[in-house]
Structure 1
Amino acid sequence: MKNYQKKSTLLVLFGLFLSIYSIHSQTTNDITTYNWFDKTIGRKNLDIVNGIPHTNPYRTVGGNHLYYIDQYELGNLTYEGQSYYNVKLKYDIYRDILVLNPFGESENIGVNIITAKVEFFSIKDKNFVNIDKKDPTVPEFTPGYYEENKITPDFIFYIKHHKDQQKVVTEGMLFYTFKENTSFYLNLKNKIYPIKNKNNIIKLFPEQKKQINGFYLMNRELKKSDENQFMRNLIKYINNSLSVQTK
Structure 2
Amino acid sequence: MIVFLFLNVFVFGQMQDKNRSYEWFDKVIGNERTGLYNGKQYIDFDRNKILDNKHAFFSSDEVLKGSVTYDSQTYYNVGIKYNLETQNFLIELKSGSGASILQLIYDKIEEFTIEDSHFIKIEDLLIDGVTTSSFVEVLFENSSFSLLKQHKKRRREHIKGQRLYYKFLDKSKYLFCIDSSCRNIKSKGDVIKSFPFYRKEIKSFYDDYNVLKESDYDAFMKKLFQQIAHSPFLSKHGF
TM-score by length of 2: 0.77
Report the CA distance shift for 1:168/1:83 in structure 2 as closer, same or farther (over 3 A): same
Name which one, 1 or 2, has greater alpha-carbon Rg: 1
1:202 equivalent to 2:192? Answer yes
Give me the CA root mean square deviation: 2.2
User: What is the 5 A alignment of 1:71-110?
Assistant: 71-104=62-95, 109-110=100-101
Count of residue pairs the alignment pairs up: 202
Distance 1:136 1:49 in 2: 34
Report the CA distance shift for 1:160/1:244 in structure 2 as closer, same or farther (over 3 A): closer
The question of whether the paired residues in 1 share the 8 Å contact of 2:83 and 2:89 is answered with yes
1:131 counterpart letter in structure 2? I
Aligned to 2:223: 233
- Range with bigger deviation, 236-245 or 62-71: 236-245
1:47 counterpart letter in structure 2? G
Query: Which has a greater percent of strand?
Result: 2
Aligned-pair distance for 1:226? Answer: 2.0
The question of whether the paired residues in 1 share the 8 Å contact of 2:149 and 2:174 is answered with yes
Distance 1:90 1:243 in 2: 41
- Range with bigger deviation, 186-195 or 155-164: 186-195
Aligned-pair distance for 1:153? Answer: 3.3
Report the CA distance shift for 1:97/1:210 in structure 2 as closer, same or farther (over 3 A): same
Distance 2:174 2:98 in 1: 32
Aligned to 1:114: 105
What are structure 1's unaligned runs of at least 5 residues? 1-43
The question of whether the paired residues in 1 share the 8 Å contact of 2:124 and 2:180 is answered with no
From 138, 145, 154, the counterpart of 2:129: 138
2:219 counterpart letter in structure 1? Q
Percent identity over the alignment is: 25
User: What is the 5 A alignment of 1:1-247?
Assistant: 45-58=33-46, 59-68=49-58, 69-104=60-95, 109-135=100-126, 137-139=128-130, 142-242=132-232
Aligned-pair distance for 1:125? Answer: 1.0
3-state SS, counterpart of residue 185 of structure 1? strand
Aligned-pair distance for 1:126? Answer: 0.9
Distance 1:211 1:107 in 2: 55
TM-score by length of 1: 0.75
Aligned-pair distance for 1:84? Answer: 0.8
Aligned-pair distance for 1:56? Answer: 1.4
Distance 2:196 2:231 in 1: 12
